[in-house]
Structure 1
Amino acid sequence: MNKAHNPPAIAQPIGGTYSHGLEVPANARTLYIAGQVGLAPDGKLGATLEDQAEQAWRNIEAILASASMAPTDLVKIVTYVIDPRYIQGAREVRARHLGTHRPASTLVVISGLADPKMLIEIEGVAAKA
Structure 2
Amino acid sequence: MRIFRNPAPTRVHPPIAGFHHQVEIGQNHRWVVLSGQLGIRPDGHVPDDAIEQLTIVLENVRWNLFAADMRINDVMKLTIYLVGDVDMDRLRAELARWLGRHEPTLTILFVAGLAGPSFRVQVDALAAH
TM over 0.5: yes
Distance 1:13 1:26 in 2: 26
SS of alignment partner, residue 5 of structure 1: coil
Query: Superposition pairs for residues 55-66 of structure 1, below 5 Å?
Result: 55-66=56-67
Partner of 1:29: 30
Residue 8 of structure 1 deviates from its aligned partner by: 1.2
Q: Is this contact kept in 1: 2:31–2:128, CA < 8 A?
A: yes
Kindly provide the CA deviation profile for residues 64-122 of structure 1, in whole angstroms up to 9, marking residues without a partner as x. Answer: 00011001100011000112534333222111110111111100011111111111100
Tell me the matched-pair count. 127
Partner of 1:14: 16
Query: Superposition pairs for residues 105-124 of structure 1, below 5 Å?
Result: 105-124=106-125
Between Structure 1 and Structure 2, which shows a larger proportion of helix residues? 1
Q: Structure 2 unaligned segments of length 5 or more: list them.
A: none
Query: Superposition pairs for residues 90-109 of structure 1, below 5 Å?
Result: 90-109=91-110
Partner of 2:5: 3
Q: Is 1:39 aligned with 2:4?
A: no
Kindly provide the CA deviation profile for residues 18-59 of structure 1, in whole angstroms up to 9, marking residues without a partner as x. Answer: 110011111110000111110011111122112100100010
Q: Is this contact kept in 2: 1:50–1:89, CA < 8 A?
A: yes
SS of alignment partner, residue 86 of structure 2: helix
Give the 3 Å change call, closer, same or farther, for CA 21–84 of structure 1 in structure 2: farther
Partner of 1:72: 73
**What TM-score comes out, normalization by structure 1 length?**
0.93
Identity of matched residues, %: 28
SS of alignment partner, residue 112 of structure 1: coil
**What TM-score comes out, normalization by structure 2 length?**
0.93
Give the 3 Å change call, closer, same or farther, for CA 104–63 of structure 1 in structure 2: same
Q: Is this contact kept in 2: 1:84–1:109, CA < 8 A?
A: no
Residue 126 of structure 1 deviates from its aligned partner by: 0.2
